[in-house]
Amino acid sequence: MNIPKRYDAKEAESKWQAFWEAKGIYKFNPENNSPVFSLDTPPPTVSGEMHIGHAMAYIQADTVMRFQRMLGKSIFYPFGFDDNGLATELYVEKKTGRLAEEMSRQEFVELCLKESEIAEKRLHEDWKSLGISPDWDISYRTTDEWCRKTSQRSFIHLYKMGRAYRKYEPTVWCPKCGTAIAQVETEDKTLSSVLYDITFKVEGADLLIATSRPELLPACVSVFYHPSDERYKKYKGKMATVPLFGHEVPIMEDEEADPESGTGIVMCCTAGDSTDVEWWKTHKLPWISVIDERGRMKEAAGKYAGMYIKKARKAIVEDLAEQGLLKGKEEISHNVNVHERCGTAVEYIMTKQWFIKYLDLKELFLDAGAQLNWYPSYMKSRYDNWVKGLKWDWCISRQRYYGISFPVWYCEECDYVVVADDKDLPVDPSEATPPIDKCPKCGCDRFKPEQDVLDTWATSSLTPQIATRWKEDDAFFNKLYPMSLRSNGHDIITFWLFNTVVKGLLHENKVPWKDVIINGFVLDPKREKMSKSKGNIIKPKATIERYSADALRFWACSAKLGEDLPYEEKEIRRGVKMINKLWNASKFTLLHLDGYDLKYNCLEVADRWLLSKLNRVIGECTASFNDYEFSTVKKVIENFFWHTFCDVYLEIVKDRLYNPERGEEAKRSAQYTLYVALQAMLKMMAPIMPHITEEIYHAYFAEKENCKSIHISKWPEMDEDTIDEEAEEMGDKAEDVISAVRKYKTLNKKALNSEVSRILINCDNATEKQLEGTCDDLKATLHAKAIEFGDAEDNIITEKYELKLRVDW
C-alpha cells in the first residue's frame, strides 16, 4: 500500500468532483424502487454571487442528502437557478449599463437571457466547488421553457378554479420601478421627515391637522379622530374644507386614529399608506387618484399636476405658508414602507392587477403549517404570525419587461379573459394568437394580449412542481410529490416557503414537503450581519482556495439549525487540522491493515472497549442525522475520532502491531478493530467531508467492499450485540490509569515514552480483576516494565475512578 505522506486537498477535491460527475454517483434513477428522499433547495439568483451564507446553508442540506443516500434511499436532489424577474432586470441593467426602456422589450429580454446564461455558468462552478451532491442533470432555470410552461399552467389552473382574478384595486406600487409589488417585497425603513400642521376649516373655524405628506391634500377624502377624543367630538358628522383645494370632506371617528400623534386628527388620502386603504374600504370613501405610475402628480392635483412627489410637496408647503395655513412644522423620523429592492417609498395606486385570492384560506394555511415538521420547531411561529397578519390577496402581476408572460388575452370589446390552451404552453400572448376566433361573450374577433408579466414568486413558489414534472409525467410526479425536505433561510419563510405552501395546497391540496429545515445566517467574527456597506463580506471561494472545501464544510456543520454562525478563520483552520489528523491516522491504520484478511479468533479487552464505544457513536450519529442535527454528528464523531481513537486507542495497540512478541492473535484482534473503526468513522464523516473521506476510502476500503464511492456505500449500522458494558468499564479504568501516569510523567518533565520500572496499583479485588485483562496493553502504552497490584503507599489518585497508584522510576 502506497499512501502519500501528505494530502493535497486542492488536487484531491477537483479530482473527486470530476470523478463523481463522470461516474454518475449522484444520478437519480427513476427505476430505483427504494424509498425516495428528495430535497427542494432555493434556486440561487443569477443577480447575486455565492456568499458564505449560501455556502453554509447548501452544505448543511447536502450533508443530510449524503447521509440519506448512504442509508440506501433513492435520492432526488435537483438544482435550480433563478434568473427570473425584477432582480435579474436590475442586475442586467447595472452590469451592461443599458436601461430596459432604451430598447425594445424583445431586445431587452434577449439581453437578460444572455447575461443569465453567463451568470449561471459561474454559479454552477461556485456551487460545485462546495462539494455538494445534486444531480446536475435535473437542474432547471426559472425562465426556461419548462418553468414557463409550469408557471403558466399554474396560473391557468388557478384561474379556472376561480382563485386568480383581475381587479381594480389599490395596489402596493413602486414608483421608481414602475410596477406593482407584493406586500412581502416591502420593508420598513426609518427616514427623517417633516410633520406639518395644516389648517383645515370647519364652519369657519380652524382645524389643525398634522401630516408628513401635504402633497396628498388633493386626494384627501375624510379626516379621522379617535372616538374617545373629547376635543373633536363636537365635529362629528360635520364637513371640513381642505386647504388650497377647497373640497369638503366628512369628519369621522375611527379607533385607528391616534390621539397622541400630531394634533390627534388625521387626514385620510387615497392613498398614503395601508391605513388609508383600510379606511377607504371600511368607510366606503371615494377614491381620488393623484399619483401616477412614475410618482408624478396627476390632474386631480390641479396646478401641481406633472410634478414629482417631492417637488409637489415643496410647492404645496410654500403655498400653504404664503396663505397662512401652515401653523407649524416639526422634524421627525418615522417608519416608511419602502420597496426592498430599491429603497423607494411605496405608494398605493389604483390599477388593474391579477391577484390570487387567498385571504379566505388562512385556517387552511395554518393547518398546513401544522402538518409540516419544522426543524427547529420554533420557526413555525414565524409562519403562523405571517399567515395571521395577511391583509391583501397575493398580487401576481408586474408591469415590467422581463418575466414570464400571462397566458392571457382580453376581448377588445368586453374585456373577456381568454386563456391559452395547455398544449400551446408556454406562450407569449404578444407573439401568439388566442385559441378561439370569437369572444364567447360578445362575438368580437379582436383580442389584445396581456402585457404584464408574472411575479417572480409566482414561479419560484412552484419549485416542487417544477422538479417533479407536475401535469407532465404523472408516474414521475406521483412518485416524487410531496417532496421529503425543504431547506430554507429564516428570512424567506414568509415568502418563498409560504408561497410554495399556497401553491401546493391550491393545486394538489397537499403540503409540498414532509419536513422543513430552517438555517441561520452567517455573521462576521464580531457577530454582526455581513453587508456590502460594512465591507465585512467573506467570499467562500477564497476560503476554499486557501483551506479546502472540506475545511469549509467542517465549519459549516458546526451551527445548529436555525442558529446564526459567526465566520471565524480559526474555525476553518480547525477543519484543516481535522483533515490532516484524519489523513495521518488513516495512513498509520492502513499501513497495518496491508494484507489483512479480516480473520480473528477472540478480541482483546481494549478492542471490545473501542468497538462498544464506536457502536454508541454510530447510534448517536445516525439518530442525530435523522433529526437533521448535523452539528451533533460533527461534534460526536470529531471527539470520538480524535480523543478516543487517536489519543488513546492507537497508542494502546501500537505495541501489538509492531511487537511480534505479543503474538499473532493480539495483532489480529487489533487489526480487526482498526478496520471496523476506521471504516465506520470515515463513513460517518463522509457527509461532512466528502473529499478526504473518498480519498482514504479509495486507498483501501473501496476494493474490499467492492464499491466505487464511499458516498454510495452503506452507512454503518449500530450493532446492539457489540455494546459491551463490562469491556467499557474495564477499558475506562485502564484509560484512567493511562491518563494518570501520563500526567505524572508530564509533571515530572519526562517524555511520555520514558520507561518506568513498575506501576503499583492499590485497588479492590474486582478492579484488579478488570485491570488484569488490560495489563499487557497498559505496560506497552505506558512503557512500564511491570504492573503490580498491592497495598503499598501510593502517590497518585486517578481522575475518574479515584484509583490509587504508585509509579517507580
Q: Which spans of this chain sit near RNA (rule: CB under 7 A)?
A: 6, 183-184, 186-188, 274, 335, 378-379, 381-382, 385-386, 389, 490-491, 494, 521, 527, 529, 560, 562-564, 566, 568, 570-571, 574, 576-577, 580-581, 584-585, 587-588, 591, 631-632, 635, 639, 642-643, 646-648, 650-651, 654-655, 658-659, 739, 742-743, 745-747, 749-754, 781, 802
- CB-nearer residue toward RNA: 240 or 502: 502
Task: Kindly state the smallest distance separating residue 191's Cβ from RNA, in Å.
Answer: 12
Residue 537 in grid coordinates: 463580506
Half-sphere exposure of 711 (CA within 13 A, CB side): 29
> 776 to each of 141, 573, 645, 652, 791, how far by Cα in Å?
64, 38, 19, 10, 21
Cβ closest to RNA, residue 371 vs residue 381:
381
Which run of H or of E encompasses 106?
helix 105-128
CB of 743 to RNA, least distance (A): 4
Min dist CB 429 to RNA, Å, is: 32
Q: Which is nearer to RNA, 469 or 573 (CB)?
A: 573
Task: Give min distance, CB of 501 to RNA, in A.
Answer: 15
193 C-beta neighbours (distance < 10 Å), count: 16
* CB distance 198 to 230 below 8 Å: no
How far is it, in rounded angstroms, from Cα 650 to Cα 679? 15
Nearer to RNA, 34 or 746 (CB): 746
Q: Are 774 and 605 in contact (CB under 8 A)?
A: yes
How does DSSP assign 691-702, residue by residue? HHHHHHHHHTHH
Rounded distance between C-alpha atoms, residue 622 and residue 131, angstroms: 22
Nearer to RNA among residue 216 and residue 738 (C-beta) = 738
CB 525, min distance to RNA, A: 7
Which C-beta is closer to RNA: that of 217 or that of 775? 775
Distance CA 92, CA 111 (A): 8
Q: How would you class 206 by CB atoms within 10 Å of its CB: exposed for 0-12, middle for 13-18, buried for 19 or more?
A: exposed
Q: Residue 282 and residue 674: Cα distance in Å, rounded?
A: 76
Comparison of 298 and 581: residue with beta carbon closer to RNA: 581
Shortest distance in whole angstroms from residue 681 CB to RNA: 12
Helix, strand, coil share (%) of the chain residues, nearest 5: 45, 20, 35
The contacts of residue 222 (CB under 8 Å, 6+ apart) are 249, 250, 251, 252, 267, 268, 279, 283, 285
Contacts of 247 (CB under 8 A, 6+ apart): 220, 241
Task: Render the burial of 565-581: b for 16+ CB within 10 Å, e for the rest.
Answer: bebeeebbebbbebbee
Q: How far is the CB of 596 from RNA (least distance, A)?
A: 16
Asked if 349 and 291 count as a contact pair (C-beta separation under 8 A), the reply is yes
Supply the minimum distance, in Å, between the C-beta of residue 786 and RNA.
18
Residues 6+ apart with CB under 8 A from 649: 606, 610, 673, 677
- Smallest distance from RNA to CB 206, Å: 31
**149 or 380: CB nearest RNA:** 380
> From the CB of 433, what's the least distance to RNA, in Å?
41
Query: Least CB distance from residue 278 to RNA, whole Å?
Result: 10
To RNA, the closest distance from the beta carbon of 755 in angstroms equals: 10
> For residues 770 and 781, which CB has a smaller minimum distance to RNA in the complex?
781
CB of 143 to RNA, least distance (A): 25
Quote the least distance from Cβ 130 to RNA, whole Å.
20
Give the cell for residue 522: 452567517
Query: Which of 58, 106, 117, 110 has the alpha carbon at shortest distance from 83?
Result: 117
DSSP-assigned letter for residue 714: P
C-beta closer to RNA: residue 378 or 437: 378
Q: Which three cell numbers stand for residue 327?
A: 401653523
CB-wise, 110 or 491, nearer to RNA? 491
Q: Least distance (Å) from RNA to the CB of residue 397?
A: 20
Residues 189 and 205: beta-carbon distance below 8 Å: no
Instruction: Report DSSP letters for 520-560, one per residue.
Output: --EE-TTS-B--TTTT----HHHHHHHH-HHHHHHHHTTSP
- DSSP state at residue 660: G
Using an 8 Å Cβ cutoff, are 265 and 224 in contact? yes
Helix (H) or strand (E) holding 373: strand 373-375
Task: Compare residues 116 and 644 and give the one whose CB is closer to RNA.
Answer: 644
258 and 187 in contact (C-beta within 8 Å)? no
Angstrom distance (rounded) from CA 518 to CA 500: 15
Cβ closest to RNA, residue 198 vs residue 552: 552
Nearer to RNA, 245 or 642 (CB): 642
Closer CB to RNA, residue 751 or residue 766? 751
Residue 48 vs 306, nearer CB to RNA? 48
CA-nearest of 627, 615, 642, 637 to 684 is 637
Query: Smallest gap, in angstroms, from Cβ of residue 741 to RNA?
Result: 9
> CB-wise, 24 or 389, nearer to RNA?
389
Task: Read off the amino acid at residue 798.
Answer: T
E-assigned strand segments in 62-163: 74-76, 79-81, 139-141
Smallest gap from residue 588 Cβ to RNA (A): 3
